[in-house]
């Protein structure tokens, strides 16, 4: 990625429409993300992220989940900035930080100016509120024992980030040698941009032409290399891949929304990933112990034989012995373990106790083993659902765990209102609706409450995954293939080939009594084998 000074310069140009707008509301999205709602002639959403890897600033049209209980820092921002107007947004030269100047009124009605410093420098990314040169508060505090040269703490005189005086402004020169290290020589250049300049200049393009292209660009060009998205405001031709071209702010949403979503899920839902992993390990260990106990219980008849053999040799002295070899009624030799503290009668009685315990415990242990295996499958299902969940779906998974008694109620999370539908995915296709459930609550809802008995239902065969319903009794081949792909895409088998997907009318489905939510049985069904086209599915989901 390359959110360097040159790219930030073009982003700041995209932010200028919000100058003069009023700050209506400030929301906390995660520990490192803040969303500003602004209004002038229209509504704007300004996203600022200070994540160590995904730090950025841009306008967004996406809908972000917000915390019901904001942090003290967000309360400070609301106190000083809400109701104020944005006077200017200016980058510091070509460095990776900018200043948002805001005019507002204080408690007695006097006009005051405040500055919001947005620093986008990797792990040092920060959002700092300044008044009269003093720090009111910052998203990330930097105490003296961490950095003696630059302390970030409320009440401290703000010291701006040191400018890169040892580097040259790229717009102050007309030419540069193609073999020079632009990253070390020019301010605002990342290694990625430096490589692109070298590649183009070695193929006859002039330094000034490339610089002019960047200066006039309002686009972002995204190239995917080994599952990593590299971008800038000009095509990265040295990567030799066909880039995706988008508007800058839309492109940043496209790149970063899903990347930080996993972080939001962990922060806002109590780290469900850690909980499910812990429960899976717990159930796996429990199954091993129960299987050992069941094997011992199934072999309990040997203790009856030991007891019979001891009673058949009632005159034998066993005190002080740890084992003894005797003949049973069938004249077979048995080596019998003994308690050296007990006599023969006492050891025989103990053998019969173990026999009765094993005999009566077989049913109980089998039931416990079945329950542990069911719980293991359940938590593996939740883990797979979390891997593909958005925030709302993850919140519903947490609610399900609370309802089932696995987790305690977390009051800080927003609760679903009574009769409110879960956040399932709805797709319009060929004048029909397709419903996709990404967790057990959604699956149960779309299958047994949202759909009609004559709608068609899809689910990957013999694996955990999404319930998919299309609102027709007779889907055509295109619709069947799309629904089957959706069912496979939101399943454990996403990366496999020739994935079997069962489909049937909803009326053929039935809930399994006493089983977890979302579990169903089918009377009759058909099966299609499908490969997932992820680009096609992403496009379908993006258009809805």
Q: What is the full DSSP assignment across 133-163?
A: TEEEEESS-B-TTT-SSS-B-TTSBP-PPPP
For the chain, give the longest Cα–Cα distance. Answer: 112
Q: What is the dihedral of CA 328, 332, 337, 338, to 10 degrees?
A: 30
- Give residue 415's pLDDT: 54
Would you say 56 and 256 are in contact if contact means Cβ atoms under 8 Å apart? Answer: yes
What whole-number distance in Å separates Cα of residue 433 and Cα of residue 450? 11
CA proximity to 135, closest of 151, 156, 117, 119: 156
What is the 3-class SS of 69-137, one letter each residue? CCCHHHHHHHHHHCCCEEEEEEECCCCCEEEEEEEEECCCCCEEEEEEEEECCHHHCEEEEEECCEEEE
- Per-residue pLDDT at 269: 65
Local structure of residue 32 (DSSP, 8 states): S
Distance CA 411, CA 500 (A): 41
For helices 248-268 and 272-298, angle between their N-to-C axes, nearest 10 degrees: 50
Rounded mean pLDDT for each run of 10 residues along the chain, 544 residues in total: 86 96 93 93 94 92 82 95 96 92 91 95 92 94 82 91 84 84 91 93 92 94 88 93 92 84 69 87 93 84 83 81 80 83 88 84 86 89 82 83 79 56 90 92 92 94 91 94 94 90 94 80 91 88 72
CA distance 210 to 232: 12
Closest CA to 96 of 27, 164, 1: 164
What residue spans in the chain does CATH classification 2.30.310.10 cover?
15-138
Task: Please give the model's pTM, rounded to 2 decimal places.
Answer: 0.66
Q: Give the separation between CA 525 and CA 454, rounded to whole angstroms.
A: 13
Mapping DSSP to helix (H, G, I), strand (E, B) and coil, where does residue 215 land? helix
Helix (H) or strand (E) holding 14: helix 5-15
Closest by CA to 447, choosing from 428, 471, 419, is 471
Q: By the 8 A CB rule, do 189 and 207 touch?
A: no
Please tell me the predicted confidence (pLDDT) of residue 412. Answer: 44
CATH of domain 15-138: 2.30.310.10
Among the listed residues 338, 334, 308, the one whose alpha carbon sits nearest the alpha carbon of residue 323: 338
For residue 460, count CB atoms less than 10 angstroms from its CB and return exposed for 0-12, middle for 13-18, buried for 19 or more. Answer: buried
């Amino acid at each position: 990625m390359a959110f360097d000074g040159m790219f930030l310069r073009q982003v700041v140009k995209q932010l200028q429409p919000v100058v003069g707008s009023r700050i209506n509301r400030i929301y906390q999205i995660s520990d490192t993300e803040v969303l500003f709602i602004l209004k002038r002639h229209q509504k704007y959403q300004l996203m600022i992220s200070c994540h160590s890897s995904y730090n950025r600033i841009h306008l967004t049209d996406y809908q972000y989940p917000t915390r019901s209980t904001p942090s003290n820092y967000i309360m400070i921002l609301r106190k000083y900035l809400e109701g104020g107007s944005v006077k200017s947004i200016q980058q510091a030269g070509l460095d990776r930080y900018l200043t948002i100047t805001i005019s507002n009124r204080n408690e007695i009605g006097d006009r005051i100016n405040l500055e919001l410093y947005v620093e986008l420098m990797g792990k040092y990314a920060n959002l700092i509120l300044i008044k009269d040169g003093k720090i009111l508060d910052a998203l990330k505090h930097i105490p003296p024992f961490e950095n003696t040269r630059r302390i970030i703490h409320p009440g401290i005189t703000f010291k701006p980030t040191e400018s890169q005086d040892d580097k040259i402004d790229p717009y102050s020169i007309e030419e540069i040698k193609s073999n020079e290290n632009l990253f070390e020589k020019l301010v605002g250049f990342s290694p990625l941009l430096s490589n692109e300049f070298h590649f183009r200049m070695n193929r006859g393009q002039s330094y000034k032409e490339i610089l002019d292209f960047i200066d006039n660009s309002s686009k972002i060009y995204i190239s995917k290399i080994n599952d990593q998205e590299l971008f800038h405001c000009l095509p990265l031709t040295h990567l030799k891949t066909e880039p995706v071209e988008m508007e800058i702010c839309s492109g940043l949403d496209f790149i970063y929304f899903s990347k930080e979503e996993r972080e939001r899920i962990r922060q806002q839902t109590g780290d469900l990933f850690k909980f499910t992993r812990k429960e899976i390990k717990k159930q796996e260990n429990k199954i091993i112990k129960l299987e050992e106990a069941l094997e011992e219980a199934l072999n309990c008849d040997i203790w009856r034989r030991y007891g019979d053999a001891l009673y058949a040799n009632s005159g034998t002295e066993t005190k002080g012995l740890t084992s003894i070899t005797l003949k049973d009624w069938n004249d077979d030799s048995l080596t019998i373990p003994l308690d050296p503290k007990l006599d023969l009668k006492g050891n025989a009685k103990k053998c019969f106790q173990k026999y009765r315990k094993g005999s009566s415990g077989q049913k109980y242990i089998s039931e416990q083993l079945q329950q542990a295996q069911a719980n293991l499958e359940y938590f593996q299902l939740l883990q797979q659902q979390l891997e593909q969940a958005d925030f709302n779906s993850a919140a519903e998974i947490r609610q399900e765990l609370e309802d089932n008694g696995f987790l305690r109620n977390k009051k800080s999370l927003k609760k679903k209102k009574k009769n409110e539908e879960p956040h399932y995915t709805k797709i319009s296709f060929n004048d029909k609706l397709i419903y996709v459930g990404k967790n057990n609550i959604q699956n149960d809802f779309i299958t047994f409450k949202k759909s009609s008995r004559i709608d068609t239902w899809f689910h990957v065969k013999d694996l955990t995954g999404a319930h998919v319903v299309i609102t027709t009794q007779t889907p055509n081949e295109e619709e069947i293939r799309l629904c089957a792909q959706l069912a496979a895409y939101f399943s454990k088998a996403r990366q496999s080939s020739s994935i079997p997907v069962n489909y049937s009318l909803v009326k053929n489905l039935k809930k399994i009594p006493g089983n977890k939510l979302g579990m169903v049985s089918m009377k009759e069904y058909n099966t299609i084998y499908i490969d997932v086209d992820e680009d096609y599915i992403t496009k379908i989901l993006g258009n809805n």
